[in-house]
Structure 1
Amino acid sequence: MLITRKLEFDAGHRISTHNSQCRHLHGHRYCIEITLSGNIIADEGVAQQGMVMDFAAVKQIAKSTLVDYWDHAFLVYSGDKKVLQFLQSIEDHKTVVLDVQPTAENLALIAFNILDDAYQDSYGNHLQLEQVRLFETPNCWADAVRGAR
């Protein structure tokens, strides 16, 4: 059985090597969809009977390991030295430094790797992260799928 939970967050970024509008500082209302697979819990009398996992728990893990860190942050590539230095000069600025350009594709993959560990640590083999879909806009998204390139 597959279940999916959607969360939203706001963040800024730029693609420093891009030749169009994306090279400028800007932000998005990102939407992340987290898809997990697992068996439906059939145990009598347990709170999660009939569920793969409580959607509230899916949300709580995603927020505490990823969304709360990225929400209202500026996601910056470590190689983007000018912007990184500028952001570091702002006291108490919420900056997330990445080893790769903060494209939708890279962010989806980073999110997948962070969340895969988090759900595995919390629920063991009961369930597995299958996909992270990250919408940069309502019409543009990237999918990080288990086993795909």
Structure 2
Amino acid sequence: MSNIRITKKFSFETGHALYGYDGKCKNVHGHSYRLDVTVIGSPISDSSNVKFGMVIDFGDLKKIVKEEIVNVFDHATVFNKNTPHVELAKELKDRGHNVLLVNYQPTSEMMVIDFAEKIKQRLPKNIKLHSLKLQETATSFAEWYASDND
């Protein structure tokens, strides 16, 4: 049977700061991120399966991405845990803010790599992550493709 790509779109609001950066993004600021998740696989051919004809149920894909990415990053502020921003992060946490400390510079490029790893680990064996597109602004985005990372 043919391989088919399906895509589910997500959105979330996240703040971040790029420590050591030489522009405005060194300041804490936020984005309305848009994430497109594309997987590839063969539609289920067993007509007795309730998911007959589907590569993966969109609801199942939604559950994975919501649990791994959206619910974690939405309305959080992300800082590299190896920067002096940890002091600011502690202050924000102490005031009840949702703060994530990650082991990378929280650029769109590094976030999309992190997201790919998290999503790949949760997909069924017969489904492969094909690509991710993380849109940071209306005109700026980072893409991850499995074919570029084999």
TM-score by length of 1: 0.91
Alignment of 1:103-122 (within 5 A): 103-119=107-123
CA distance in 2, matches of 1:138, 1:80: 29
Letter in 1 for 2:23: S
Q: 1:72 corresponds to which residue?
A: 75
Asked if the contact 2:36/2:134 (under 8 Å) is kept, the reply is yes
Identify the match of residue 85 of structure 1 among 77, 84, 87.
87
Structure 2 residue ranges without an equivalent (≥5): none
Please report the RMSD computed on the Cα atoms of aligned residues, expressed in angstroms. 1.2
CA distance in 2, matches of 1:138, 1:3: 23
- Of 104-113 and 43-52, more deviation after overlay is shown by 43-52
TM-score by length of 2: 0.90
Letter in 1 for 2:106: P
CA distance in 2, matches of 1:67, 1:93: 17
1:82-112 residue CA offsets vs partner (Å, 9 max, x unmatched)? x221221232321111111100100000000
CA distance in 1, matches of 2:99, 2:34: 19
Structure 1 residue ranges without an equivalent (≥5): none
* Post-superposition offset of 1:68: 0.5
SS of aligned partner of 2:148: coil
1:129 counterpart = 2:125: no
SS of aligned partner of 1:89: helix
* Post-superposition offset of 1:69: 0.6
SS of aligned partner of 1:48: coil
Asked if the contact 2:20/2:26 (under 8 Å) is kept, the reply is yes
1:3 counterpart = 2:2: no
CA distance in 2, matches of 1:98, 1:87: 11
CA distance in 1, matches of 2:115, 2:80: 15
CA distance in 2, matches of 1:118, 1:76: 25
Letter in 1 for 2:129: L
- Of 87-96 and 25-34, more deviation after overlay is shown by 87-96
Calculate percent identity across the aligned residue pairs. 26
Runs of 4+ displaced beyond 3 Å? none
Asked if the contact 2:79/2:89 (under 8 Å) is kept, the reply is no
